[in-house]
């Protein structure tokens, strides 16, 4: 439980550090850091946009065993799909990052109404371990 609180606190600190960085919406190439929870809750607000998120990278829980970005480590290890977004990326790109917290940026696509998932991210331009 303490590890979960520490990780949540670090995510908040990371968000704050990014929010006060000199880059902003007027800087060319700027990709905003958004909460994964916010994207899941409001998918149409982000559909078709380039976003930057932090989350736990783990195999998906479906039959295709795709890669998913989960809200927390607990969600990822237990394949809680409602708390994840699919990631369309080559497996070799993320093989060393599985079961770790990552920062990634790409284009988000909202699901169809009443779909059984929370959309997906493709055109990934940045993926790396969470510092």
Kindly state the tokens that stand for 46. 């982000």
- What end-to-end distance do the CA atoms of the chain give, in Å? 21
What is d(CA 42, CA 2) in angstroms, rounded to the nearest whole number? 29
pTM attached to this predicted model: 0.75
For residue 106, the surrounding DSSP H or E stretch is: strand 100-109
Do the Cβ atoms of 10 and 55 come closer than 8 Å?
Answer: no
pLDDT at 115: 80
* 8 beta partners: none
**Each residue of 74-101: pLDDT tens digit?**
999 998 989 999 999 988 889 899 999 9
The predicted pLDDT at position 131 comes to: 80
Instruction: Give the pLDDT score at 106.
Output: 95
pLDDT in tens, the chain (131 residues): 676 665 655 555 555 555 544 444 556 677 889 999 999 999 999 999 999 999 999 987 655 668 999 999 999 999 898 999 999 998 888 989 999 999 999 999 999 888 878 999 999 999 999 88
Domains of the chain with bracketed CATH: 2-129 (2.40.50.140)
Percent of the chain with pLDDT over 70: 76
Look at residues 121, 122, 111, 130 and name the one whose alpha carbon lies nearest to residue 41.
111
53: which 2 tokens? 């998120």
Alpha carbon distance 81, 62 (integer Å): 8
pLDDT number for residue 105: 95
The 8-class DSSP code of residue 61 comes to S
Contact of 30 with 51, CB cutoff 8 Å: no
């Amino acid at each position: 439980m303490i590890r979960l609180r520490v990780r949540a606190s670090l995510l908040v600190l990371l968000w704050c550090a990014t929010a006060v960085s000199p880059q902003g919406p007027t800087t060319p190439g700027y990709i905003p850091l958004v909460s994964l929870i916010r994207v899941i809750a409001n998918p149409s607000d982000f559909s078709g946009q380039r976003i930057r998120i932090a989350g736990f990278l783990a195999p998906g829980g479906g039959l295709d065993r795709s890669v998913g970005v989960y809200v927390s480590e607990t969600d990822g290890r237990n394949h809680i799909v409602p708390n994840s977004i699919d990631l369309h990326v080559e497996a070799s790109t993320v093989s060393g990052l599985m079961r770790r917290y990552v920062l990634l940026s790409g284009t988000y696509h909202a699901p169809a109404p009443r779909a059984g998932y929370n959309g997906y991210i493709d055109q990934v331009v940045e993926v790396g371990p969470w510092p």
